[in-house]
Structure formats: structure tokens, C-alpha cells
Amino acid sequence: MKTTKIFAYIAIAAISVSVLAGCIQTPEVDEPRAILTSTPEPTETVEPVEPLVGDIDGDGELSRWEAEQLDRQSYTLPDGTKVALVKGGAIPDVVIAAVQASVLAKAGPAPSGSIEERGAHSRASVEAVEAESVKIGMTIVPVFYAFDGNAGDYAWGVGSVAAGSVPVSSDEATAVARAHAWIGEQTDRYVVIVFG
């Protein structure tokens, strides 16, 4: 009898499941379901803007104070163009050329005349180099071709702050190498410039 009851319960359960299954609707699969995705809104592409030289606060404008700072950290070329100089950085070639031209214009070419003429030229050269040193914010160690009174002939020498501590040379390359050796690691304070 117990077995008959168990079968009766199983039969009732099976009938209940099939009745309930008929109540549940299954979706039709004729058409594929659309998958919802979100498409991001297109964003504007911003072209990179060249930073304004001297614009310390980054507001895109040069204030009076920033202009004064730029003047202190730049070299003005003869045409009025300002070239920014970076403390401890290399001096741009265009500035080197302007310094050379300025010193030559102020001191003139090396004379071959009397001791007085050569002395006057030497003093004018030193003054012009010192003035240009102030403008670039570094001490110029000049390499120049001039009359060597000790040898009685023209030679390549290193002047200014290195004068007397660097021997004269028969060629420009040796004089430049000696000037760089004298400077050593102090390239943030000194720059070698050739005045031929």
C-alpha cells in the first residue's frame, strides 16, 4: 500500500507540473533580440596650442611681470626678436652669432698697428664681452685671434676670466679645447665663444 501511495503522489506531482507549465508563456524566438548598447557622445578634438613663451602662470597671456621676467631671461637680437635663454642650458646659435657681431661692432677688427692701438682694441673687446656676458646671464670665455706680445706674433688665445691661466695656441681648435677644459663642469656659468 505504501508503494501505491508513493505512485499516487508522483502522478499528482507530474500532473501539477504539466498544468503549471501550460500557464507559463515562452517567448517566441522568431526574431533575434536587440542588444541595447550605449554609444558615447562624440567629443570635440582640441588642437594642441603652442605655449606662450614667458607665460609663467599658463593663462595664455603675458602679464607685465611675466614680460619683465622674460626680458631678464632672454636675449634681444638686433631685429628686436627675443630669444629665451634657459639657465644652465646651451646658448642658441643665433644668440652666439649676435654676440659675435656685437663685440666686433663695438671693438672693431684687431689692429696690426702700435702697442697703444692693440691695447685700446683689447680694452674695447673686454668691455664688449663683459656687456654681452651680462645680456646672456653667463660669463663669456672668449677665444680670439690676436697679437701675442710675448711671442711677437699672432696666435689664438683665451681671454677674460681665463686670461693668463690658459696658454696661447697656434690654432683655433686647440684654443677652444683649452677654454672648455678650463671651464670643466661649470657649463651653467661659462660659455666659450670664438671671436676670429
Domain extent listing, the chain: 64-195
pLDDT in tens, 18-58: 444 455 555 555 555 555 555 666 667 667 667 776 777 88
Q: Which residue has the higher pLDDT, 163 or 12?
A: 163
Return d(Cα 88, Cα 191) in angstroms, integer.
10
- For 3-152, strand residue ranges (E) read 74-76, 82-84, 139-148
Q: Which residue has the higher pLDDT, 94 or 71?
A: 94
pLDDT bracket for residue 109 (50, 70, 90) = confident
pLDDT for position 151: 75
Query: Among 85-94, 117-126, 144-153, which stretch is predicted with the lowest mean pLDDT?
Result: 144-153
Return d(Cα 139, Cα 134) in angstroms, integer.
8
pLDDT for position 63: 87
Name the residue among 160, 54, 150 with its Cα closest to residue 99: 160
Name the residue among 177, 192, 56 with its Cα closest to residue 136: 192
Distance, first Cα to last Cα, the chain: 127
pLDDT for position 66: 77
For residue 42, give the C-alpha cell.
Answer: 562624440
